[in-house]
Structure formats: structure tokens, C-alpha cells
């Protein structure tokens, strides 16, 4: 069986299921496990992802206004790989190549690939997606083992939650500010916090710093979508004064790898936040999280 993954979370799921050797292609954003970098990339972005937050947001809005896709798919390379299974998504056109693009491309290149499209909006959907990929790839029993382990770790995090659930807001974008929705509110709850902002499963809304302050959070997690930790730290420095006025406790996270990516490592994000919320900050300040830059 040959598998193509067009979504970083899906690549992590495939590898967690022990199917790394079946992967023959990936999206340009798939970066974990590290050795997937050797696989041929099948997508590319039409915007420069290295732009500052504000300019990147404007570039994406401009493409939407022109009704142009944010990503392009290499049809000829996809055809040459002739995958049996293609894993893609329907949750967010900003995050990865759209489902419609994938279907249209596969129809044009006349492959008989099975499409597995992930649409996670809640935390439970992440676990269900592991099983969906496992079943499509013929390793359902392995999927059950992976999901059981993820559930066990979630139970452990919940058991160690602080008694007084601090009110937590998650910033998913810095310029303009956005509050994290979809599976993030439930991730906060799973970590022992009380989630502020959008309801679980709802899209991530734009907000103002005043909007966030009015929520009166006890703690704020800054985890911009698509940014690793060093970039999050750099961009947070530009709005550090605003961030410090939001809450007495602030944590910067690698949102791209953990919190914003609906794959197995979402559990690591929850474990990280759980440790931080119960006051065990030193154990989470590594490549996953950092404190707000000093004045």
C-alpha cells in the first residue's frame, strides 16, 4: 500500500500507526517525524509564510477576495506516485490544500486512490481520525492501541488538574488577534483550565485586545497557528505590552507542532498546559513552551 498525506496531522497519524514506510508523498508543511522531509512535497503555498502576522493575514485575505486557492497541488507528481490512499482535510482552507482541490486533481489524473478526508472540530474528532486513517489503511487493531494510549494520557492529565480551574484564553493569532476555537477549548478543559472565548467546535474568531481583557482570564496561552516556538517568541515581543496586560500568567507555545495541529501531539500540548496550570512551569519550558520575553 502506498499512502500520500497532504496534512501534517495526518502524516503524524500515519507514522504513529507504524506506517511510515508506506508514505510516498507529503505536503510541504509535513515536518514530523523529521525523516518525512525526505519524501517528495506535493503542495506549495501561494503566500510567503515568513511574512509578519499582519502582512500574512492581509495576503491570505487578498487571495480569498480573488477566490484563489492558498495552496497549489502538484498533479503530475501525484499521478506518478499512484497512491492507494490519499489523506487530506476539509476543516480549514487556510491550513492546508482544500478537499475540493484534491478531488479535482485526482479526477484529472485518473487515479483510483481512496480519499480519507479529516474534518476535526472537537478534541474527540482527533482520536476518531486516528481510527479513520487506521481503518482505511487496514491497521484497525493498531489504531485501537494508539487511541487507547492517547486516552490513557488524557486521563492522567485530568487526574492531576488543579482543584481551582483557572480561566484560560488562547491567542491563536497576534496581528490581528484571534481567539482559538475548534478543539482548543476542550484541550484547555482537558488540561484543567476553564476555557474562555469561542465554544468548543466553533471557528476561531477575530478579537481585539480589549475583547480578551474583558474575558478576565487568569492565564493566557499564546500559540499562533503555523508558528514554531522561536517565531512565536519573536512576534510576541512586538506586542509584549499588550500581552502582559491580559493576565498575570502567560505561556508561549509551539502552536504549529502541538496545539493547532489535530494529531497525536495534541495530547502533548494538553500535558504541557496541565503541568503549567498546576504550577510545574520548569517541566514545560523546553522546545514546546516559553515564558513571555522579559521587559
Distance CA 50, CA 201 (A): 29
pLDDT, tens digit, 9 for 90 and up, residues 103-136? 788 877 767 889 999 999 999 999 999 999 999 9
Apex 57 CA angle, 51 and 60, nearest 5:
100
Distance CA 108, CA 273 (A): 45
pLDDT, tens digit, 9 for 90 and up, residues 5-43? 999 999 999 999 999 999 999 999 999 999 999 999 999
On whether the 3-119 domain is CATH 3.40.50.1980, my answer is yes
Q: So where are the chain's domains? A: 3-119, 161-290
pLDDT, tens digit, 9 for 90 and up, residues 162-203? 888 999 999 999 999 999 999 999 999 999 999 999 999 999
Distance CA 33, CA 271 (A): 20
Distance CA 30, CA 132 (A): 19
Query: Which CATH code fits 161-290?
Result: 3.40.50.1980
Reference 37, options 57, 15, 17, 67; nearest CA is 15
Kind and range of the H or E run holding 45: strand 43-45
Q: The whole model's pTM is what?
A: 0.92
Amino acid at each position: 500500500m502506498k499512502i500520500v498525506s497532504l496534512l501534517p496531522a495526518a502524516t503524524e497519524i500515519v507514522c504513529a500507526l507504524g506506517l511510515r514506510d508506506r508514505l510516498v508523498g507529503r505536503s510541504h508543511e509535513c515536518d514530523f517525524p523529521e525523516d518525512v522531509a525526505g519524501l517528495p512535497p506535493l503542495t506549495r503555498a501561494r503566500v510567503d509564510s515568513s511574512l509578519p502576522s499582519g502582512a500574512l493575514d492581509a495576503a491570505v485575505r487578498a487571495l480569498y477576495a480573488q477566490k484563489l486557492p492558498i495552496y497549489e497541488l502538484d498533479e503530475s507528481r501525484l499521478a506518478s506516485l499512484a497512491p492507494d490512499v490519499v489523506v487530506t482535510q476539509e476543516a480549514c482552507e487556510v491550513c492546508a490544500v482544500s478537499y475540493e482541490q484534491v478531488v479535482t486533481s485526482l479526477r484529472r489524473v485518473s487515479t483510483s486512490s481512496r480519499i480519507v478526508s479529516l474534518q476535526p472540530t472537537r478534541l474527540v474528532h482527533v482520536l476518531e481520525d486516528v481510527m479513520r486513517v487506521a481503518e482505511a489503511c487496514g491497521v484497525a487493531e493498531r489504531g485501537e492501541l494508539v487511541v487507547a494510549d492517547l486516552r490513557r494520557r488524557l486521563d492522567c492529565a485530568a487526574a492531576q488538574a488543579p482543584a481551582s480551574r483557572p480561566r484560560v484564553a488562547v491567542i491563536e493569532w497576534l496581528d490581528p488577534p484571534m481567539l482559538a476555537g475548534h478543539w482548543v477549548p476542550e484541550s484547555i478543559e482537558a488540561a484543567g483550565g476553564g476555557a474562555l472565548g469561542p465554544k468548543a467546535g466553533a471557528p476561531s474568531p477575530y478579537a481585539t485586545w480589549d475583547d480578551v481583557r474583558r474575558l478576565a482570564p487568569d492565564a493566557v496561552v499564546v500559540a499562533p497557528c503555523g508558528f514554531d516556538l522561536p517565531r512565536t517568541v519573536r512576534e510576541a515581543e512586538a506586542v509584549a505590552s499588550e500581552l502582559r496586560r491580559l493576565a498575570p500568567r502567560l505561556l508561549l507555545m509551539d502552536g504549529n507542532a502541538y496545539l493547532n495541529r489535530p494529531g497525536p501531539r495534541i495530547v502533548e500540548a494538553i500535558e504541557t498546559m496541565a503541568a503549567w496550570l498546576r504550577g510545574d512551569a520548569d517541566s514545560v519550558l523546553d522546545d514546546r513552551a516559553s515564558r513571555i520575553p522579559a521587559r
